[in-house]
Structures are given as C-alpha cells and as structure tokens.
Amino acid sequence: MEASRHHLRHHPVNQEQGHAWLKPANFLRLRGTGRARELSEWRERWPIPRVMISSSSIHRGIGKSVGINILNPMDYRDGDIQGLSRILNRV
C-alpha cells in the first residue's frame, strides 16, 4: 500500500490533478484479479440441507458457487418469520 502511494504521488495524472485543484488518487484497489477455483458442490460433500441468509453479495456469490440456496434478509425485514420458516422447511 505504501509503495502505491509513493508511485501515485509522482504520477503525471496526479500532478495534473494538483494543478487543477482536484484531489489526487492515493491508493489503488485491485478487484477481480484472480480466477474462480473449482469448488465441489456442498451437497456432494455434506448431504444435509443448505441455505444461506446474507445481504452481502460476496458471501451470496460464494454460496451460490457451491450450490447453497441463498436468501436475502431484506425480503424478511418486516417480521415475516412464518414465510421464512416455510422456505427453510422446504430446503
């Protein structure tokens, strides 16, 4: 992180930003640089019902990639516990 700050501080684009009274970039965030690993599906390893309740897209994506049923907690925020219970009983 410190190395990227040093390089960005002296980068020509940041020099131009400073002259235009704009804020310079001070770090780089690299995302999606890797490859998805081959993962065995959950039901192949553990023959039990599987469900994930998460509002985080990264967690939902991981769960989906291994065959876990995904529920969004925002669908049950109004206290629809009976509806959630019915769904969980079907899993």
* Residues 55 and 74 placed together within one structural domain of the fold: yes
Residue type (1 letter), 30: L
Q: Is the per-residue pLDDT at 79 higher than 70? A: no
Digit-coded pLDDT (tens) for 44-76: 777 777 888 887 888 888 888 888 888 877 776
* Residues 69 and 87 placed together within one structural domain of the fold: yes
* Residues 42 and 74 placed together within one structural domain of the fold: yes
On whether the CB atoms of residues 55 and 33 are closer than 8 A, the answer is no
* Residues 56 and 67 placed together within one structural domain of the fold: yes
Tell me which residue range forms the domain holding 48: 35-91
**Of 81, 91, 80, 78, nearest to 52 (Cα)?**
91
* Residues 28 and 46 placed together within one structural domain of the fold: no
Digit-coded pLDDT (tens) for 10-31: 888 888 877 777 888 887 776 7
Count up the domains in the chain and report the number. Answer: 2
* Residues 57 and 79 placed together within one structural domain of the fold: yes
Helix or strand or coil: residue 36?
coil
Residue length, the chain?
91
Residue 33 pLDDT? 65
